[in-house]
Amino acid sequence: MTASLADGAGTFEIAGKKVARLGFGAMRLTGLGIWGEPEDRAECVRVVRRAVELGVQLIDTADSYGPHISEEIIREAVHPYPDDVLIATKAGLTRNGPDVIRRGDELVRLGPRAWPPVGRPEYLRQQTLLSMRRLDLEAIDLFQLHLSTPRFRWRTRSAS
């Protein structure tokens, strides 16, 4: 790859791929409150494509963004993925609805109850497989646990 704007942040290696430290966080590719479809899906697709054109190689998403919307937009925008692009995703949080709602002219944050943690190994495995399907990947280069709570001991959070 030629020098890009993202290269200025330096690089590191993940899963055998050298990637620019400056990545793209895809949480806001969704509707209000990180819930549902964005107002302009085509614009979200253009933004992701442009990020990759500018040299972004690390795209970070999660099954709970939308839920699922962010992963679907990434696939739509970038698949088939360039060899130097790494898709990182996560699981471990479920969604009960948006985390922000509109009341008149105000936005009201609902707080953490909109993102309950689920760390059961069978759930994490299921979500990994579903993310692979939505992203159209045979393997996920970087899978992250999207929760940190003492309720789940690490031994019980690890999925095969």
pLDDT at 4: 67
Which one of the listed residues 65, 74, 89, 135 is annotated catalytic? Answer: 65
Domain boundaries, the chain: 5-157
Q: Which of 44, 47, 50 is nearest to 5 (CA)?
A: 50
How many alpha carbons lie under 13 Å from residue 90 in its C-beta half-sphere?
20
pLDDT at 65: 95
pLDDT at 1: 45
Whole-prediction pTM: 0.86
Task: Print pLDDT tens along the chain (160 aa).
Answer: 456 666 677 888 998 899 988 899 999 999 999 999 999 999 999 999 999 999 999 999 999 999 999 999 999 999 999 999 999 999 999 888 888 888 999 988 887 677 888 888 999 999 999 999 999 999 999 999 987 666 655 554 444 4
Catalytic annotation present for 65: yes
Residue 110 class from Cβ within 10 Å (0-12 exposed, 13-18 middle, 19+ buried)?
middle
pLDDT at 67: 94
User: What is the CATH code of the structural domain delimited by 5-157?
Assistant: 3.20.20.100
Residue 73 class from Cβ within 10 Å (0-12 exposed, 13-18 middle, 19+ buried)?
buried
